[in-house]
Amino acid sequence: MRLASVPLEDWLREYYFRVEHDLGSSGVEPYTLGEVRALASIAEADLDRVLLEDSDTFGAAGLRAALAARFGTAEDRVMVTHGSSEAIYATMRALLEAGDEAIAPSPGYPQLTTVAEACGATVRRWIVPVEAGARPDLDALEALVTPRTRAIVANFPHNPTGVALTGAERERLIAIARRCGAHLVWDTAYAELDYEPSPGPDPMHAHERTIVFGTLSKAYGLPGLRVGWCIAAPETLRRMVGVRDHTTLYVSPLIEAIAERVIRHGDAFVAPRRECARANRALVGAWVRDLGDLVAWRLPEGGVCAFPALPRVADVTAFCRALAENQKVLLVPGACFERPRHVRLGFGCSTATLERGLERVTAALRRAAA
């Protein structure tokens, strides 16, 4: 099994810690440990009682119970993971082998395709529209299904475009997976950052072969905890644990103790960051309108990413590199998502950071177009 390089991670590794204004990341502003303790009512004595022993391979019972309660499922359908990245890796390894096919969104989070391909599966790309007004084409998705389709990957609200599905679109996607018998692998990193919630079937309850990922890294503002989860049928989780036996074994009980309290106080963490992101989305919209033909975009319906095109910039990757090195502003070039005319612009940061960063991007765009 040979894993391909991930240009997105290469870019972030090179520039994330070297900039002053992060407008490229895909999460909300992170919380400090002190803020976590205050919001989740964690006393020093609570941490002192944590026994630093091994943890259950599926995750600590208390954290699994908290996740099950928050997301409306049974505890034996929950597995705690090292971020959603471990859930993605374990799922693909458990489900796919040479000769299988998977369908995944494009552009998309790279690990949703690279691990599947490393397992020997063929990945068929389902194009997610980046243009304003365009909707995901469910007919095109269905046309990609073959007798070898073993997994259909979904990520809505979508990273990096911010596209979300309507209730009818969600229902159609689930029906396609049911008819072909494929696993529906649903990345819900932004599920709690949906600005226009659409009624529709919950894939966890509408299709037995659904596998749902979640994470504290995006909507909860806690990427440094490295806690994610996977919700699936118990037999699927048992196969995933077989992969974990060769990698991480379990999650730290100290981290799980903090994560349990965060999940039980989830709204206290998500709500203020969602409101900030909503205001920031409007700010980015006004910025795009002011720039005229220098930027083209679609309004994100969920998440904290936009994926605008820069039509007046000849080399977008070089533009982003100069922006990071000279202006200390992080954008992610669209080449990291196989769309070289675009950039990923994250607006989950503080409003002050966003305003200062956009000022520098504006000046750079005007210089490039001169």
Q: Domains plus CATH for the chain?
A: 7-32+268-369 (3.90.1150.10), 42-266 (3.40.640.10)
Q: Which residue has the tokens 């607006």?
A: 347
Neighbours of 257 (CB within 10 A): 19
Q: Of 107, 126, 38, 113, whose CA–CA distance to 298 is shortest?
A: 107
First to last CA, the chain: 48
Query: Are 140 and 124 contacting, i.e. CB atoms less than 8 angstroms apart?
Result: no
From the list 345, 347, 342, 338, the residue with the least C-alpha distance to 105 is 338
Phi, psi torsion values for 349, nearest 5 degrees? -75, 180
Strands 228-231 and 210-215: antiparallel
Written as six digits, the tokens of 123 are 């990945």
| CA-based max dimension of the chain | 62
Distances (CA, A) of 301 to 58, 157, 230: 33, 7, 24
Neighbours of 280 (CB within 10 A): 23
Edge to edge, the sheet with strand 183-187 lists: 78-81, 228-231, 210-215, 183-187, 149-155, 101-106, 122-127
CA distance 311 to 333: 13
Element (H, E) at 266: helix 266-291
**Element containing residue 186 per DSSP (H, E):** strand 183-187
Nearest to 345 by CA among 283, 290, 292: 283
> What pLDDT, on a 0 to 100 scale, did the predictor assign at position 299?
95
Query: For residue 20, which of 354, 368, 296, 259 has the smallest C-alpha distance?
Result: 354
Q: What is the mean pLDDT of each run of 10 residues along the chain (370 residues)?
A: 88 96 97 98 96 96 98 97 95 95 96 94 96 94 98 96 94 96 96 82 90 96 97 96 93 97 98 97 98 96 96 97 98 97 98 98 94
pLDDT of residue 2: 81
C-alpha–C-alpha distance, residues 331 and 15, integer Å: 9
The structure's pTM equals 0.94
